[in-house]
Amino acid sequence: MISESMEETFYLRSNGSDMPVFVRGNGSSNKYIIVLHGGPGDTSVNYMDDVSSQILMQDYGMAFWDQRKQGNSHGHLNNEDINLNIIVEDLQQLVNTMKLRYGENIDLYLMGHSWGGAVGTAYLQTKDYQNNIKGFIEISGGYDINMLNNSLIAMFNQYGQIEIDANRNADIWQEMLDFANGLDPDSISLDEVLTLNSYGGDVRRMNLLEDFYKIPSSSNVAAGSDKINSSISEIMNALSIFAQEDLLEVLLNISLSDDLAKITVPTLLIWGKYDFKVPPSLGTFAYDNLGSEVKSLKIYEHAGHNSMVWDPDRFVSDVKAFIGD
């Protein structure tokens, strides 16, 4: 039932997969944000627990969707049943279902993080699907893997050399620079991509940059604890994706930059300055090449890959300014 405090769960059945959708928040606003989680292999429930989501749900409905073969989705799927085009069609089915359940007049927004940014980008470039969407919020979207790898190598060199010259964790940075500079970004292997990604995570895990820190929220809202999914399903789905290298190759071989001009919906781009997973240069490129007349790029000065976690107050403020009342 539509209300100011919705708590509804349904399963989306599409192309052999049953995918949970958790609808929470203020559905009476007539504005719904479809959350496109990261990965591939993550779950939308992790985003539901964020302080930023808890605050946004006071004003908007939010649909947390576990994509096929991810989170708590089910289905006996072959590799050919999992690719970006099929996931785009799943999203279109979700859009249709949302309108059927909550009204044709609702405003739908896509919020895609990391891999979810690629899903949202691909969706908006497909057929006339963007006509269903009021706006796109892209958070560190990995919409072009070759560009991402080149940018990440450049970013390691930029910050790594500064840290080496200052003799701060010089041995660790030198190891990462040696690896990055030994790569051929135009023919990088899956193992090399995963290692580069792991080094990117080490920058935060090992606190390798002094200027990289979390800004506490001034809100009294606490992070949620709505752990609905089966942990076993989450783990098994994630492991099955990463165990099938040919599938992961397909999912990580994404290049959507040439068609960014096709996207004309209002777009809010949010990146962290110290995003060593998807560098902020991809945000700049997207801003310069999107076909949207209404677009903005926000680079958070003290954030990494998860801007909504690093600076939740600013994130909420930017999203609310973009969507409006």
Cβ burial of 191 (10 Å; 0-12, 13-18, 19+) is: exposed
Q: How far from each other are the two terminal CA atoms of the chain, in whole angstroms? A: 21
The residue-averaged pLDDT of 148-175 equals 95
Write the DSSP assignment of 226-270 as a string of letters: ---S-HHHHHHHHHHHHH-HHHHHHHH--B-GGGGGG--S-EEEE
**Is residue 232's pLDDT more than 80?**
no
- Pick the residue with more confidence: 207 or 32? 32
CB 244 within 8 A of CB 298: no
The pLDDT score that the predictor gives to residue 228 is 63
Q: Which CATH fold would you assign to the domain 6-144+212-323?
A: Rossmann fold (3.40.50)
The pLDDT score that the predictor gives to residue 235 is 57
CA dist 285 and 307 (Å) reads 18
The residue-averaged pLDDT of 204-218 equals 81
Q: Each residue of 25-44: pLDDT tens digit?
A: 999 999 999 999 998 888 99
**Is residue 305's pLDDT more than 90?**
yes
Task: Quote the mean pLDDT of the chain.
Answer: 90
76-85, 118-127, 132-141: lowest mean pLDDT where? 76-85
Q: Each residue of 103-117: pLDDT tens digit?
A: 999 999 999 999 999
The pLDDT score that the predictor gives to residue 245 is 57
H or E stretch at 24 = strand 17-25
C-alpha gyration radius of the chain: 19
The pLDDT score that the predictor gives to residue 1 is 75
CB 255 within 8 A of CB 144: yes
H or E stretch at 310 = helix 307-310
The residue-averaged pLDDT of 230-258 equals 67
CA dist 246 and 131 (Å) reads 33
CA dist 92 and 73 (Å) reads 17
CA dist 151 and 197 (Å) reads 12
Q: Each residue of 272-303: pLDDT tens digit?
A: 999 999 999 999 999 999 999 999 999 999 99
Measuring CA to CA, which residue among 296, 288, 253, 293 is closest to residue 271? 296
107-121, 128-142, 223-237: lowest mean pLDDT where? 223-237
Q: How confident is the model at residue 210 (pLDDT cuts 50, 70, 90)?
A: confident
- Pick the residue with more confidence: 217 or 241? 217
Query: How many CB atoms neighbour CB 181 within 10 A?
Result: 11
So where are the chain's domains? 6-144+212-323, 147-205
Cβ burial of 68 (10 Å; 0-12, 13-18, 19+) is: buried
**Is residue 214's pLDDT more than 80?**
no
Single pTM value for the model: 0.93
Cα separations in angstroms, 261 against 34, 117, 124, 173: 22, 16, 10, 37
Q: How confident is the model at residue 246 (pLDDT cuts 50, 70, 90)?
A: low
The pLDDT score that the predictor gives to residue 243 is 55
Measuring CA to CA, which residue among 275, 227, 234, 216 is closest to residue 51? 216
- 16 CB-near residues (< 8 Å, 6+ apart): 75, 76, 77, 81
